[in-house]
Amino acid sequence: MIRFFRGTFGAATVVCLAFVVWALWTGGIFEGAMAREVRTSSVYAADDVELDEAAAERIIGNRRLVVIMDSPGADLSEGCDDVESAVDGNLVLLLSQEDDDYDTYGCALLPGRDDENFGKAVVAEQIIKRGIGEFHDRPLDAIKVIAVNYDLLVRAGTVPDGARELSPPLPRFLIAGASVVAVVLGAVGINLAARRATRLAVRLQDQREAAGDARSKLTAGSAALAQQIIDLDARRAKDKRYRRIIDDYVRLLDDIAEASTEEEYVALAERVDALGRRCLKLT
């Protein structure tokens, strides 16, 4: 047995086994369903929660933001601990519907959150949930408000700017390959699989960055409009004109989520400017 492990083949076997253990761990095989899903998704909804996850994904886009809709009565702080490794570096908001409101738990997993950025993390956890109670029975609209709050945090420098990087769970593919090939040939297969996954991740990231550049001007305008609306809320909440602005703003967010061409972005930017002028008339 000792001679076997001293040989090249034995050493390769040990290395392969160690790699398999590492792959199992980093691939999330020991994680729960919530953590496994948010590794490659910005939205998670529990089985007993009604939510159009595809629509919610489109609303969040490539923001470094994760929204988790958990079951009513769930321990949201425990959920934050469960996903910490899977979504490290992102701003997470956990929600559960409680009668006519949301139970919320902010989880700012930002770099340096335990040291120099502790204060920013606390602020982000408070701001990200602001204003969603009004939409307790319309979760997609609540997520739109969350997205606007996130953009405000980015503009203020509280949350670092940039797109979220999503990578395929490479270790799971490596495990499958290691189970059907010999140790030496398996090393070659692992190398090829790694390169393929890297190219896929780079292509996906390039696509997300291109889409983000096209929407950046519209996003900035909508964030400024959101701040105008927030400023008016305390003074004009009962004004019918203000309520009409809110309704038009919600419809605008729907159209922004569905836009995909430059012409659509320009038209939406004009609508943002028009709503901004209407807000100014109420100030």
Residues 216 and 239 reside in one and the same domain: yes
- 145 lies in some domain: yes
- 233 lies in some domain: yes
Number of independent structural domains in the chain:
2
Residues 161 and 43 reside in one and the same domain: yes
State pTM to two decimals.
0.54
- 204 lies in some domain: yes
Inform me whether the pLDDT recorded for 4 exceeds 50: no
Mean of pLDDT over the chain:
79
Residues 133 and 178 reside in one and the same domain: no
- 113 lies in some domain: yes
Residues 99 and 183 reside in one and the same domain: no
Residues 104 and 161 reside in one and the same domain: yes
Residues 116 and 209 reside in one and the same domain: no
- 2 lies in some domain: no
Residues 36 and 162 reside in one and the same domain: yes
- Select from 166, 201, 230 the last residue of a domain: 166
Residues 44 and 152 reside in one and the same domain: yes
Residues 101 and 224 reside in one and the same domain: no
Chain centre to alpha carbon of residue 57:
8
Query: What are 13-62's pLDDT values in tens digits?
Result: 666 666 666 655 555 555 678 888 888 889 999 989 999 999 999 999 99
140 Cβ neighbours under 8 A, 6+ residues apart: 51, 52, 55, 56, 59
CATH number, domain at 137? Answer: 3.10.310
- Cα distances (angstroms) measured from residue 56 to each of 45, 68, 141: 10, 11, 9
Query: What are 184-240's pLDDT values in tens digits?
Result: 565 555 567 767 888 888 777 766 665 566 577 778 888 888 888 888 776 776 778
- Select from 166, 200, 223 the last residue of a domain: 166
Provide the residue range defining the domain that includes 153: 31-166
Average pLDDT (124-139) is 90
Residues 125 and 189 reside in one and the same domain: no
- 4 lies in some domain: no
- Select from 135, 166, 197 the last residue of a domain: 166
Residues 159 and 130 reside in one and the same domain: yes
